[in-house]
Amino acid sequence: MNPFIREHLMQGKRRQRYEELAEIGTGAYGIVYKARDVESGRIVALKKVRVQTGEDGMPMSTIRELAMLKHLEKCEHPNIVQLLDVCHGMRTNLETRLTLVFEHVDQDLATYLEKCPSPGLGPDRIQDLMFQLLKGVDFLHSNRIIHRDLKPQNILITGDGCVKLADFGLARVYAFQMALTSVVVTLWYRGPEVLLQGIYATPVDIWSAGCIFAELYNRRPLFQGHSDIDQLHKIFDVIGLPTESEWPDSVSVPWNAFRLSAPKPLDKVIPEICDQAKSLLEKMLHFDQRMRITAHEALEHEYFKER
């Protein structure tokens, strides 16, 4: 038997190890609880999800996904939320209930920005937050993990200002849970290739990080669409409509469905941005994902030279 299954999925009694203290959030991925590890006294976050069960039990793809994330825990990267434990709950022919145990962090970036007094974050703080965020993204990408859903709500900020990425690498685990909920998932940080239902890879996270970069300056989302098409219109209003030759093949929407528009200067859209930050952001928000800067390259950008 797979040792991960044996150790982490076949011991339902381990759920008793965690004492729930309070509900701290509800989203498309399930309910999150603040809890105490009764053995160590450590405060943790519990995320309860339902995973689709097949004829042979839990799909191997799901098991591999969880095992990979548990393996990453050993790296103890400072900008990654650790998955500490996986507890097996009730199982039927249709689903298995899991409790994912994460390290607990008090607030997310959305809350952090809401609490930030006027006139907003200083340039040094924005630079530090982005450097940490990109360090976390670079670590994921170097381990062949695409986050897929970077947004302020799953970027956590500790009391001493450390950025930690959460909810990564769990696409298969969360897919069934999300199908059972009616929670609206935000489109505001999705790359054009996702909105067009095209092929995507690690650059999709760079687009999302770029959207967040802009939000650190403006304290509001850069692109606030109400549907996939509206989101694309909002994007092209800023970066300009790409040429027809740049339009990807085999996507759901044709190029001529959008009005011609020229790119707007980013310093007009984000008045407080400095030249180096603008240079980096332009490289992150490139329509062609093949031309987008990588996380590793971004960390070497001149914007971070004087940090």
Which residues are identified as catalytic? 149
- Entry pTM: 0.87
Express each pLDDT in 16-52 by its tens digit.
889 999 998 776 666 789 999 999 999 999 988 877 7
Express each pLDDT in 238-257 by its tens digit.
999 999 999 988 888 999 99
Contact 234, 281 (CB under 8 A): no
Q: What are phi and psi of 238, to 5 degrees?
A: -100, -50
* Residue in 21, 74, 15, 8 with CA at minimum distance from that of residue 48: 15
- In this prediction, residues 194-214 reach a mean pLDDT of 94
CATH of 3-103, one of 3.40.640.10, 3.40.1280.10, 3.40.50.150, 3.30.200.20: 3.30.200.20
CB burial of 39-67 (b: ≥16 within 10 Å; e: otherwise) equals eeeeebbbbbbbbbbeeeebbeebbebbb
Q: Where are the domains of the chain?
A: 3-103, 107-304
- CATH H superfamily, domain 107-304: Transferase(Phosphotransferase) domain 1 (1.10.510.10)
- Beta strand pairing call for 95-103 and 30-37: unpaired
